[in-house]
Chains A and B, each alone.
Chain A
């Protein structure tokens, strides 16, 4: 069943942040929202959260318009690094406040997680370091057990050890209380293990929305002798190409490959699959452009 439905959703703040986004998001999934900086991820999430209003098009969360909707707000939580609380509240008070508002709040779990992370509950939110802040905010989001949990770059500032721990924490919480997680991150490789689906956004549009495996299989890497590949590459769209000492390696769209693997191997061309983050990189980078070119 669908938790979010967008139809031709556009948002502009002078510049076009989102352009005619259409998508549906199923309930009870962990979905990664990936994209470059400024692609429009946060804008889309803000619209889902009911903070922003679409300029044109429609958006339905829990079958209702989420903008300024108390029913949406009751089942949604938006966690990012700007999450703030009154400076009269200690962390413990913040947890009490959360418990007062969110009906599914797990206070005990919060205490245990924060103790594990070594965060002092008598401290104030403003006094935490960047990593501790991210940890606390994430715990706040997990423990609220909202049907739609939006985490906007939740691991920003956390050290590697605690990041790994909390990816596991997200998964474990998800298993204990299934809900829809929308997570954005710049560390896709780390996150891959817990994601079920990926939505790739570039320049305000969704360019890919698929389960993780399908997504990874979108592009493949071919490497082999340049002359052998040249013919092949001329027929399909090439995402990236590197030529070195007579050997070419290129990234192409897998669906455009009509030749079987054996034939390719016979020609000396090897096929390798890409990681999800590599797929993202190639799908979103401008075709043909390359950082090395700037320095040449």
Chain B
């Protein structure tokens, strides 16, 4: 409440200050600005606004899609299903749709220590191991899957930074990159205060899975992954 009051007062003072300033300057400019010219000025301003509106509505296409409530519901349904699979430790839900990147890595021997560096991102890395009989020894296939992350009606899964996965000193390193910041400009020709307080579903909608990103490591049966950090 105090923040809003402060905001109001600062706005009121600012408006009054600007108004006084304008009137003082206006007094001197009374000769140049006759009522007729002022009317023309105001009309031109309104016409400019109209032109801006027409331009925006015809020529500006936002590349970012906002999901409609029905689409979000669909994603929600999928999420329920996925959660079920997740709990059963069934990776079949990790389809091509969600695959983001695959790394083919080589290593020596049958033991592969895994070092996970989560950095300061605070997020947990979710790792599954699949033993693939068709793979040759010394090969590992690491795939990163990203499930939809919907924030305020937009699917931002593409913006989540990929981890850095590589083999060095015969160890598999999985490093989470530092936090990525994305900025968006949302244009909403309505009164934000109303919508915020009415809590329209889409507004504060943040949906993410408990494990939105999964790393699957496909290794041959002969290899043993060493997990010294006890993370998976």
Q: Which residues of A contact B (CB under 8 A)?
A: 87-88
> Quick check: is B4 within 8 A (CB to CB) of the other chain?
no
Query: What would 4 A/B residue contacts be, using CB atoms closer than 8 Å?
Result: A87-B30, A88-B30, A88-B34, A88-B35
Nearest CB in chain A to that of B31: its residue: A124
Bound: A87/B26 CA distance, A: 11
Residues of A within 8 A of B35 (CB): 88
Residues of A within 8 A of B34 (CB): 88
Bound: A88/B30 CA distance, A: 7
Nearest CB in chain B to that of A89: its residue: B35
Residues of B within 8 A of A88 (CB): 30, 34-35
Q: Which residues of B contact A (CB under 8 A)?
A: 30, 34-35
Closest 4 CB pairs of A and B: A88-B35, A87-B30, A88-B34, A88-B30
Majority-rule SS of A interface residues:
loop
Bound: A174/B68 CA distance, A: 81
Bound: A110/B70 CA distance, A: 75
Residues of B within 8 A of A87 (CB): 30
Bound: A87/B27 CA distance, A: 9
Nearest CB in chain B to that of A86: its residue: B35
Bound: A199/B10 CA distance, A: 58
Smallest distance from the beta carbon of A85 to chain B beta carbons, Å?
Answer: 13
Bound: A47/B30 CA distance, A: 35
Smallest distance from the beta carbon of B64 to chain A beta carbons, Å?
Answer: 49
Smallest distance from the beta carbon of B81 to chain A beta carbons, Å?
Answer: 72
Nearest CB in chain A to that of B33: its residue: A88
Bound: A88/B33 CA distance, A: 9
Smallest distance from the beta carbon of A128 to chain B beta carbons, Å?
Answer: 15
Bound: A70/B48 CA distance, A: 43
Smallest distance from the beta carbon of A134 to chain B beta carbons, Å?
Answer: 23
Nearest CB in chain A to that of B27: its residue: A87
Smallest distance from the beta carbon of B206 to chain A beta carbons, Å?
Answer: 55
Smallest distance from the beta carbon of B91 to chain A beta carbons, Å?
Answer: 78
Smallest distance from the beta carbon of B30 to chain A beta carbons, Å?
Answer: 6
Residues of A within 8 A of B30 (CB): 87-88
Bound: A166/B57 CA distance, A: 67
Bound: A127/B35 CA distance, A: 18
Smallest distance from the beta carbon of A94 to chain B beta carbons, Å?
Answer: 14
Nearest CB in chain B to that of A90: its residue: B34
Nearest CB in chain B to that of A88: its residue: B35
Bound: A285/B34 CA distance, A: 52
Nearest CB in chain B to that of A87: its residue: B30
Smallest distance from the beta carbon of A49 to chain B beta carbons, Å?
Answer: 29
Smallest distance from the beta carbon of B203 to chain A beta carbons, Å?
Answer: 47
Smallest distance from the beta carbon of A124 to chain B beta carbons, Å?
Answer: 8
Nearest CB in chain A to that of B35: its residue: A88
Nearest CB in chain A to that of B36: its residue: A88
Smallest distance from the beta carbon of A163 to chain B beta carbons, Å?
Answer: 32
Nearest CB in chain A to that of B34: its residue: A88
Smallest distance from the beta carbon of B27 to chain A beta carbons, Å?
Answer: 8
Bound: A242/B194 CA distance, A: 87
Bound: A88/B35 CA distance, A: 7
Bound: A87/B23 CA distance, A: 13
Smallest distance from the beta carbon of A60 to chain B beta carbons, Å?
Answer: 40
Bound: A87/B29 CA distance, A: 11
